[in-house]
Amino acid sequence: MTIETTDTDQNEPTWSEDPYSVDEGVGWRAHIGMVIYSNDQTLPHEGRVMLNFPGVALFESRIHAYRGTNQPLTAEGLSNTSGIEGAARLINTMRPSDVVAIGCTSAAMVIGNDELHRLVRRIHPNAQVTDPFTGIKAALTATEAKRVGFISPYPRDVAERMTNGFQEAGFEIPVATTFKNPTGFVSDDAPFITPDSMAAATRRLINETELDTVVIACTQMRAAEMIEALEEETGKTIISSNQALCWHALRLAGCDDKIDGWGRLFRS
């Protein structure tokens, strides 16, 4: 007897079912959520590099930046909190974050960490909340900084507001500088300012003034890659916004690992 088969019979797979087990996934030590402004080109890269070690999961969300190309950076614009809750909600819809980091130094300074806590905890009620401004202050405390030089790409009024904030927290700021280019728009140029330019500004402040620490503010600044070598060269502590944000997020998540490659702060 001949059994005829059709093309459908010949192509049908043999199905089976297999059991499986589950574990805690990639973030078995900590889930860190990060809200990044839509025009930030540096924090997404540096954050993933610095937080890349076993057991720590980084989940990003974006928030629309209030400022477009060739538009000034202003305290009024930085105070805009619309979109923060929505961005926090989209960080990871499967599991609440242990820590939520808001990624803009100047906006966090203007808005304030208390208000950021309030907004984030509407969505992640048990999360620790940090930001670069808060992270830098925590980093200065952890490294026992006293006399601090300040570097940023901010307009003078925003930069002065930030240095005043550090002084109010108990740190002396005897010298500060802002990047300026008469043919460029520094708020747009910030992610393209070279590490060599930042290193040169750091050396100048250290050579001209007695300092123990230099802060390089703004999450757009590509400072992380040069910190280790510059600290070895100058003997001073170098702290950047992205470095401080990632370090503080780790410490708030209970990860106390001492990590080489990202400066003294990560070994504190």
Average pLDDT of every residue of the chain: 93
Question: Would you say residue 106 lies in a domain?
Answer: yes
More confident residue, 210 or 66: 210
Model confidence at 245: pLDDT above 70 = yes
Q: How confident is the model at residue 6 (pLDDT cuts 50, 70, 90)?
A: low
Please enumerate in sequence order all residues whose Cβ is within 8 A of that of 89, keeping only pairs 6 or more positions apart, or say none. Answer: 123
Give the pLDDT score at 2. 55
Question: Would you say residue 66 lies in a domain?
Answer: yes
Question: Would you say residue 4 lies in a domain?
Answer: no
Question: Would you say residue 162 lies in a domain?
Answer: yes
Model confidence at 8: pLDDT above 60 = no
Model confidence at 179: pLDDT above 80 = yes
What domain count does the chain have?
A: 1
Question: Would you say residue 144 lies in a domain?
Answer: yes
Question: Would you say residue 25 lies in a domain?
Answer: no
Give the pLDDT score at 170. 97
Give the model confidence (pLDDT) of 19-77 as tens digits: 999 999 999 999 999 999 999 999 999 999 999 989 999 999 999 887 667 667 777 88
Question: Would you say residue 11 lies in a domain?
Answer: no
What DSSP string describes the chain? -PPP--HHHHHPPPP----------TTSSEEEEEEEETT-SSHHHHHHHHT-STTEEEEEEEE--S--TT----HHHHT--TTHHHHHHTS-SSS--SEEEEE-HHHHHHH-HHHHHHHHHTTSTT-EEE-HHHHHHHHHHHTT--EEEEEESS-HHHHHHHHHHHHHTT-EEEEEEE---TTS-HHHHGGGS-HHHHHHHHHHHHHHS--SEEEE--TTS--HHHHHHHHHHHSSEEEEHHHHHHHHHHHHTT-----TTS-GGGG-
Give the pLDDT score at 1. 56
Specify the amino acid at residue 142. Answer: A
Give the Cα separation of 223 and 195 in Å (integer).
6
Give the pLDDT score at 21. 96
CATH of the domain at 149: 3.40.50.12500
Max Cα separation, the chain?
Answer: 100
Model confidence at 253: pLDDT above 90 = yes
Q: How confident is the model at residue 206 (pLDDT cuts 50, 70, 90)?
A: very high
Give the pLDDT score at 70. 66
Percent of the chain at pLDDT > 90 equals: 84
Both tokens assigned to 183 = 């043919």
Give the pLDDT score at 232. 98
pTM exceeds 0.75: yes
Model confidence at 194: pLDDT above 90 = yes
Give the Cα separation of 247 and 56 in Å (integer).
12
Model confidence at 18: pLDDT above 90 = yes
Residue 204: domain span? 30-267
